[in-house]
Amino acid sequence: MKDFKKISVRRMTKRFGDKTAVHDFSLEFGKGEFVTFLGPSGCGKSTALNCITGLIPITSGEIWIDDECIDDSKSQVPPEKREFGMVFQNYALFPHLTVAENVAFGLKLRKIRGAELAKRVDDALRLVHLEGYASKFPAQMSGGEQQRVAIARCIVLEPRLLLLDEPLSNLDAKLRIELRYELKALHERLKVTTIYVTHDQTEALALSDRIVVLRAGKIQQVGSPEQVYADPANIFVADFMGYRNRWPAKIQSIEERSDTLVVRFGSAGASLEAHLSYPAADPRRAALQAAFASGSPVITAVRPEDIGMDDKAGNGIRCHADIVEYQGNASQVSATGADGIRIDFRSSPKVSEGEALSIFVAPGKILLFPADNLDPKQGGSP
Amino acid sequence: MRKIKLSTVLFVAAMAIYVFNVLGILGTVVLNSTSKGWFSGVFPTHFTTEWYAYAANDHDIPNLLAVTFTVVLADVLIALLIAFPAAYALARHEFRGKGLLTSLFLLPMIVPPMAYGIPLAMLAYKVHVAARVSGVILVNLVPIVPFMILVLMPFIEQVGSNLESAAKMLGAKRLTIFRRILIPLTIPGILTAGILSLVKAISMFELTYLVAGGKSQTIVVALYADAYAAGARPPQAVDALAVIYFLIAMVCLVIALRFVSPTQMVFKLK
Amino acid sequence: MKGASRRGLGFLLAPAIVFVILLFVYPFAYGLFLSLTKEDGSFTLSNYLNFFASARDFRTIWVTLQISVPVTFINVALAVPFAYYMRRGLKGEKIITFFLIIPITLGTVLVSEGMLTFMGPKGWLNQLLLFLHIVKEPFRFTHNYLGVVISLGLQGFPYAFLMLLGYVSGINPDLEKASQMLGANKLQTFWKVLFPLMVPGIAIAFSLNFVMAFSVFPSAVLLGEPSGPTRVISIAAYQWAFEKFNFNAASAISMIMAAIELLVISLILVWRARMYKGASIVGKG
């Protein structure tokens, strides 16, 4: 494998006719990093992935490995010469070849034969825990096993970059978790630079060094799992990362403190207070000030698990429970508040359907975003 | 900056050679049938319709057309009635001896028409359907039914059986499911099978030849008889009849392509 | 419930079973019977023996094979690249396909008549070849072996093409991408991945095309030299039946035709089994 330090995607754009699938995509990542492209169906994550592999020609922009440009939209290094490996959602194993022959496919193309070939195939199969399956055919194996063969087939070639396109989507829930652990273990062990595409935020959080959140072809946020989880850049990312409570709100007052913005606002039929830890020069402060000044509406973002029945948290909201799902150690409750807004939260004490209650949210657990066309609930898709 | 790939060049060249020859053959026949005294040079000098008139007088064209259409349509319809249920059974059900039965159904396509045609013709004579339209219809069924089964099966497989199960759960009876779910969804398949069989039936020569008599000939048989008896009539008249045949088949094909895309028009056997 | 569904199955299959037995199995069996008997009904192998003994008749097997096997090879070999090139759809594919399958509508007689003129010594094709200095004198395309081959090729190609096109487009496109990512160029991907998966389709296309070519009759008469070099086996069968009115001999020849066809098809199936020892799933995701 030709060694490298970093891969740089610069302003990559892909247009199909007059539809732009990927818009101005820029990203730089280093050797050994695990990057995930995260987003809903149709957000362009698979397209972006395929553009990086070279399987789809890019409309404009550039892709560089260190100081070699492998694609500048006018000419490109063909996929078969990039030393990248790709794992597909539907495994794409060659049905007419055995497991061993599948894994050996790329090696044979590189003229590796005999004892060395056999050893490398064996090692790869052992890495994915499939010793003994060498002479089976793909059709005789389960989905999870097939996917492991697909992985072995790639990593046996020691690729510079490993790309996985929703590799776990076709598997059942239990297998998905199992294989996710194995992928993580493999990455820890081999440290292969990886790009992973998924719509599942749990996978993204569990596996990645960095997450790239995409929507309608545009990057919404790039950050570590902690950053994207605790500090989403906009209402779309927040919604995708599980901040399911989005209530319309009107700002009543803003107080600028050195490292916090204290915002009083009206929402859910109550007057609430949010403490947003934005640094002093963070543009989001200005955005909220602007919303306040113009009287524009804003939207809250609160996690169900951050809402509780403990009144010491502050920010009380009255509502009545509609649907209560018992889940063992707690219940998932869907309640209706003032103005018909929906409140989703988790509750340990038992709640009955129809019960009128007060729920509480700590000020540090409420996020506020200007209401604009990025709100998924408003159906904003360009 | 679009590079021209070698494969494109080859493809275009191959297409060009092919189309040139096909259209050339067609064109010569058409021109021959509409011209007089075309002996040399690139194009004929005089045009005329007299050959068509000749052919019309020579053969009872209305009868020829009537017989051809009757035979072909009857064959396709009867074949559909036989083939559709069989294709459905083969596509949906597993049972012992299925492989054997499928092979049996498809055998008539593999065995040359001559192999069963001569005895079939003899039998037709025995039951007095020979030299009659009914005989021609009957014998031509033999290659058409397997062909139809072959074309229909993938279309039926495509209509998932869970649709029928869903309908059953909603209370529909067998016949209703058949009428309101299966048939509408397999219309593309039925059309494809029907029209392809139509085109094939028009061209089927050997069996009709063995069984037909004077008044029960189809166009293709009359055409061959003309061509074989070379010298007995002017070649241009033969060409005229050939063009008529071609136009009929072409109309059917164009209709077929309107409904069905090329990749659907095929049979996938396991 | 099981009984009812089996009865239902029976109803569905009954018409086809009756049909195939009455109109095929019975005549075929009758033909077999005829081939093994003399006119008076007594058992004999003479029909077969006479055929093999007569050099003129026995030759027809070789002549027919000489025509049908190469034609089928060419048809399938040409159909494969066309189908491969068009496998993912193409701009104007309907028009292209339309032109490629026009020969289905032409009919043997038109093709023969057309070839006699178009490919004759004074026809357009020779005029073009002379004009381009590809040949020095008109090339003989007709009334010979080549004529029959071209005619069969033109008429068989559309079927081979349609069959293969459908088959190839059913192969999972991700397999090609996977192959590319593993380092294979287009040619390697074709040979190592696509072609093996096309083998079942090729086997069928070859079989059906061969059957059509082997039973060639009108083309051989109109375009070839039926008295000699292109006297195919169906001509022999026909002559025994309708010129010498010996239906026993004719049936014997028909049976021999059927046997040879079945033999060739079995060989193809053996080849297919050896190439495709893997799963029967074509990898459609």
Going by their DSSP bridges, the two strands A261-267 and A270-276 should be labelled as antiparallel
Helix (H, G, I), strand (E, B) or coil at A275: strand
At C168, the pLDDT band (50, 70, 90 cuts) reads confident
Q: Which residue is it, tokens 């009128």?
A: A356
Structure tokens at C230: 């292109």
Q: Which residue among B112, B206, B263 places its CB closest to the CB of C258?
A: B112
- Interface mutation target, options B11, B20, B22, B248, chain C, most CBs of C under 10 Å: B22
pLDDT at A326: 87
| Residue C119 belongs to some domain of the structure | yes
For the domain that residue A151 is a member of, what is the CATH number?
3.40.50.300
pLDDT at C1: 42
Q: How far apart are CA A224 and CA A150, in angstroms?
A: 28
- Tell me whether residues C211 and B109 touch, CB distance under 8 A: yes
The alpha carbon torsion through B146, B152, B157, B159 (nearest 10 deg) reads -160
Query: Comparing C-alpha atoms, which of A64, A37, A33 is closest to residue A50?
Result: A37
| Residue A1 belongs to some domain of the structure | no
Q: Which residues of C touch A81 (CB under 8 A)?
A: 183
pLDDT at A259: 86
- Domain containing C270: what range? 55-275
**Which of the two residues, C179 and B121, has the higher pLDDT score?**
C179
| Residue C217 belongs to some domain of the structure | yes
Query: Comparing C-alpha atoms, which of A187, A93, A194 is closest to residue A144?
Result: A93
B 52-91: CB under 8 A from C: 81-83, 85-86, 88-89
pLDDT at C69: 93
Helix (H, G, I), strand (E, B) or coil at A306: helix
Listed in order, the ranges of chain B carrying CATH 1.10.3720.10 are: 51-264
**H-only helix segments in chain C:** 2-20, 26-35, 46-53, 55-85, 93-101, 103-106, 108-118, 124-131, 145-169, 173-181, 186-189, 195-214, 218-223, 233-242, 247-275
Q: Which residues of A touch C181 (CB under 8 A)?
A: 53, 55, 79-80, 84-86, 154
Structure tokens at A109: 């193309």
Largest CA distance in chain B: 74
Which string of DSSP letters, residue by residue, matches B21-83?
HHHHHHHHHHHHHTEE---SSSS-SEE-SHHHHHHHHHTTHHHHHHHHHHHHHHHHHHHHHHH
Query: How large is the angle between the packed helices B133-158 and B183-203, nearest 10 degrees?
Result: 140
Q: Is the minimum CB–CB distance between A169 and chain C shorter than 8 Å?
A: no
| Residue C122 belongs to some domain of the structure | yes
Domain identity same for A18 and A77: yes
- Interface mutation target, options C174, C175, C181, chain A, most CBs of A under 10 Å: C181
Q: Which residues of B touch C22 (CB under 8 A)?
A: none
Look at residue A381 and tell me whether its pLDDT is greater than 60. no
**What sign does the dihedral A79-A85-A91-A96 (CA atoms) show?**
positive
Domain identity same for A219 and A305: no
pLDDT at C283: 39
What is the rounded average pLDDT of the residues A215-235?
Answer: 92
How are strands ordered across the β-sheet holding A342-347?
A307-308, A356-361, A316-326, A331-337, A342-347
- Tell me whether residues C108 and B28 touch, CB distance under 8 A: no
pLDDT, tens digit (0-9, with 9 covering 90-100), for C104-141: 888 788 888 888 888 888 788 888 888 888 878 888 88
- Tell me whether residues C107 and B32 touch, CB distance under 8 A: no
Q: Which residue among B22, B32, B85 places its CB closest to the CB of C12?
A: B85
**H-only helix segments in chain A:** 45-53, 99-109, 114-127, 143-155, 173-190, 201-207, 225-230, 235-240, 283-294
Q: Which residue among A84, A94, A106 places its CB closest to the CB of C175?
A: A94
Q: How confident is the prediction for chain A on average, in pLDDT?
A: 90
Structure tokens at B71: 């035979």
Q: How far apart are CA A96 and CA C192, in angstroms?
A: 10
pLDDT, tens digit (0-9, with 9 covering 90-100), for C181-234: 999 999 999 999 999 988 888 988 898 889 888 888 877 777 777 777 788 888
- Tell me whether residues C182 and A92 touch, CB distance under 8 A: no
Look at residue B269 and tell me whether its pLDDT is greater than 70. no
Q: Is the minimum CB–CB distance between C265 and chain B shorter than 8 Å?
A: yes
Helices (H) and strands (E) in chain B, counts: 12, 2
For the domain that residue A326 is a member of, what is the CATH number?
2.40.50.140
For the domain that residue C232 is a member of, what is the CATH number?
1.10.3720.10
Q: How far apart are CA A63 and CA A163, in angstroms?
A: 15
Domain identity same for A211 and A257: no
Domain identity same for A39 and A63: yes
- Tell me whether residues C19 and B82 touch, CB distance under 8 A: yes
- Tell me whether residues B141 and C13 touch, CB distance under 8 A: no
Residue count of chain B, please give it: 270
A227, burial (CB in 10 Å: exposed 0-12, middle 13-18, buried 19+): middle
- Tell me whether residues C12 and B206 touch, CB distance under 8 A: no
Query: Comparing C-alpha atoms, which of C83, C80, C82, C84 is closest to residue C72?
Result: C80
| Residue C128 belongs to some domain of the structure | yes
Residue in A closest to C184 by C-alpha:
A80
Detail the DSSP E strand segments found in chain A: 6-16, 19-30, 34-38, 60-65, 68-71, 84-87, 161-165, 193-198, 210-215, 218-223, 248-256, 261-267, 270-276, 298-301, 307-308, 316-326, 331-337, 342-347, 356-361, 367-370
- Domain containing A300: what range? 245-378
Q: How far apart are CA A381 and CA B182, in angstroms?
A: 38
Look at residue A338 and tell me whether its pLDDT is greater than 80. yes
DSSP state of B5: P
For the ranges A296-300, B192-196, C26-30, the lowest mean pLDDT is seen at B192-196
Q: How far apart are CA A102 and CA A105, in angstroms?
A: 5
Domain identity same for A69 and A167: yes
Q: How far apart are CA A60 and CA A236, in angstroms?
A: 26
Q: Is the minimum CB–CB distance between A28 and chain C shorter than 8 Å?
A: no
What is the rounded average pLDDT of the residues B246-256?
Answer: 82
Q: Are A270 and A317 in contact (CB under 8 A)?
A: yes
Distance from CA of B262 to the nearest CA of C (A): 7
What is the rounded average pLDDT of the residues C48-65?
Answer: 86
Q: Is the minimum CB–CB distance between C178 and chain A shorter than 8 Å?
A: yes
Enter the CATH code of domain B51-264.
Answer: 1.10.3720.10
Q: Is the minimum CB–CB distance between A4 and chain C shorter than 8 Å?
A: no
- Tell me whether residues B253 and C105 touch, CB distance under 8 A: yes
Domain identity same for A66 and A142: yes
Q: Give me the phi and psi of C268, to 5 degrees please.
A: -60, -40
Domain identity same for A313 and A176: no
For the ranges A290-304, A316-330, B150-164, C102-116, the lowest mean pLDDT is seen at B150-164
Q: Are B87 and B158 in contact (CB under 8 A)?
A: no
At A373, the pLDDT band (50, 70, 90 cuts) reads low
Domain identity same for A155 and A22: yes
Q: Which residue is it, tokens 């599948």?
A: A102
Q: How far apart are CA B231 and CA B235, in angstroms?
A: 8
Query: Comparing C-alpha atoms, which of A200, A194, A103, A115 is closest to residue A152?
Result: A103
- Tell me whether residues C281 and A139 touch, CB distance under 8 A: yes
- Tell me whether residues C100 and B18 touch, CB distance under 8 A: yes
**Which of the two residues, C5 and B22, has the higher pLDDT score?**
B22
Q: How far apart are CA C141 and CA C112, in angstroms?
A: 11
Q: Which residues of B touch C261 (CB under 8 A)?
A: 110-112
| Residue A52 belongs to some domain of the structure | yes
pLDDT at B35: 77
Distance from CA of C196 to the nearest CA of B (A): 14
Query: Comparing C-alpha atoms, which of A276, A230, A214, A227 is closest to residue A249?
Result: A276
Look at residue C281 and tell me whether its pLDDT is greater than 50. no
Q: How far apart are CA C169 and CA A16, in angstroms?
A: 22
- Tell me whether residues A86 and C177 touch, CB distance under 8 A: yes
Domain identity same for A225 and A253: no
Domain count, chain C: 1
The alpha carbon torsion through C180, C186, C188, C189 (nearest 10 deg) reads 50
Q: Is the minimum CB–CB distance between C225 and chain B shorter than 8 Å?
A: no
- Tell me whether residues C281 and A98 touch, CB distance under 8 A: no
Q: Is the minimum CB–CB distance between C94 and chain B shorter than 8 Å?
A: yes
Could you tell me the CA-to-CA distances from B181 to A25, B160, B163, C34, C125 in Å, in that order?
47, 11, 8, 48, 53
Q: Is the minimum CB–CB distance between C15 and chain B shorter than 8 Å?
A: yes
Query: Comparing C-alpha atoms, which of B189, B1, C36 is closest to residue A73?
Result: B1
Q: Which residues of C touch A150 (CB under 8 A)?
A: 178
Q: Which residues of B touch C89 (CB under 8 A)?
A: 263
Domain identity same for A212 and A343: no
Q: Is the minimum CB–CB distance between C3 and chain B shorter than 8 Å?
A: no
